[in-house]
Chain A
Amino acid sequence: MMLLKKYYYGDYGEIEGGVSSNKSETEFPLWEVFIRSKQGLDHKHVGSLHAADVAMAVENARDVYTRRMEGVSIWVVESKHIHASNPDEAESLYEPSMDKIYRHPTFYNLPDEVGHM
């Protein structure tokens, strides 16, 4: 039977091969934090933290990541809900696009009539 290995954000390097789910029951689960800054339109990933539940996760995010007025909105998501690509498959995932330069707009010569695009 083929078991699906799960990769969390931040796994690479430290825990090669993904994380198994036999975490200690006394440990708080891991959450990923996304903050939207005042000028920003999108929430950006800023890091992760431990919390027992979603309320604690939002409060921890506020205390850990917005101490210097970094944001106006916080998203948190439990890390286990994030599915990541497998670093071992990098070759087949990304390399095929390397020799397809025609996918870049700079590959094409624009006729003069088009003017500034």
Chain B
Amino acid sequence: MKTNLINYALHLADTTLILSHRNSEWCGHGPILEQDIALTNIALDLLGQARNFYQYAAELMGEGFDEDKLAYLRHPSEFKNHLLVEQPNGDWAITMLRQFYFSCFQYYFYNELKNSSDQQLTAIANKALKEVTYHLRWSSEWVIRLGDGTQESNNRMQNAIEILKEFSDEFFAMADYETALLKDAVSINVKDIKAKWIQKVNDVFEEATLNLIPSNNSQIGGKNGMHSEHLTTLLSEMQTLQRTYPNSVW
């Protein structure tokens, strides 16, 4: 039970941390100042969520563990994030679509998680839901704006759909630790939110004049530590300071 809960908390922490880091890579490179700030705000929201989950995991793991250790000193194969969030930023369209897919998932996910029997998870879900509601609105509008914009922006968005099509199914694949936590109503069954997610994506795509491409080659395994090479590159950069100068603090 405890191991499963630790893994579950780490999965939620890793996913939000990695997307936060990807978004933060745009800091100083956004298309315009205002969008640079907007995406950095989202990165900070996700980082806050990650910290909450890491702190909870560290508390469960007991002495010798803290949030920094979990974020900065674990190997790629120990990370349990979705494969979607470690995908490279690509252009603005890919970053926006990745955010939209993820925020849409998070929105329905936290809506269920706030009924969890675990009070810590409930509290984090309640706090995060307000942030995610805005992320979903913001990213939906970008998908619509680009999809229903110029020929060029529509092409970019359609290209993003093609590139990310293999990665959305992992949202709805249960890892063993998730399944194990179901019987005590700690975790939620992600399969149950698939229909809502598809409905929302279809609604937004319709407004954006975009077509969802079904994938017959879904990539899963991130939640169990099987990652693409992109995560290794990301972590080696993100963890470099803590590994070069152990225990350094701000």
Q: Measuring CB to CB, which residues of chain A are less than 8 angstroms from any residue of chain B?
A: 28, 49-53, 55-56, 59-60, 63-64, 67
Contact = CB atoms under 8 A, between A and B. Distances in A.
Contacts of B137: 59
A64 B24 CA distance: 16
B33 A50 contact: yes
B115 to A, nearest CB: 29
A97 B37 CA distance: 45
A63 B141 CA distance: 15
B34 A50 contact: yes
19 contacts: A28-B32, A49-B33, A50-B32, A51-B34, A52-B145, A53-B145, A55-B141, A56-B141, A56-B145, A59-B38, A59-B137, A59-B138, A59-B141, A60-B34, A60-B35, A60-B38, A63-B34, A64-B34, A67-B41
A50 B30 CA distance: 13
Contacts of A64: 33-34, 37
Nearest to A28: B32
A53 B141 CA distance: 11
A52 B32 CA distance: 11
Contact of B34 (A49, A53, A55): A49
Interface on chain B toward A: helix, strand, loop, or mixed SS? Answer: helix
Contacts of A59: 38, 137-138, 141
A63 B38 contact: yes
A24 B85 CA distance: 35
A85 to B, nearest CB: 28
A59 B42 CA distance: 12
Interface in B7-40: 32-35, 37-38
Contacts of B141: 55-56, 59
A77 to B, nearest CB: 16
Contacts of B41: 63, 67
Interface string B34-75: 110110010000000000000000000000000000000000
Nearest to A31: B34
B33 to A, nearest CB: 7
B194 to A, nearest CB: 28
Interface in B111-165: 137-138, 141, 145
A49 B137 CA distance: 20
Given A59-B38, A59-B138, A64-B34, 20 more contacts: A49-B33, A49-B34, A50-B32, A50-B33, A50-B34, A53-B145, A55-B141, A56-B141, A56-B145, A59-B137, A59-B141, A60-B34, A60-B37, A60-B38, A63-B34, A63-B37, A63-B38, A63-B41, A64-B33, A64-B37
A55 B34 CA distance: 13
Contacts of A60: 34-35, 37-38
Nearest to B38: A63
Contacts of B32: 28, 50
Nearest to B35: A60
Contacts of A49: 33-34
A59 B133 CA distance: 13
The CB with the most chain B CB atoms within 10 A, among A49, A53, A55, A63, is that of: A63
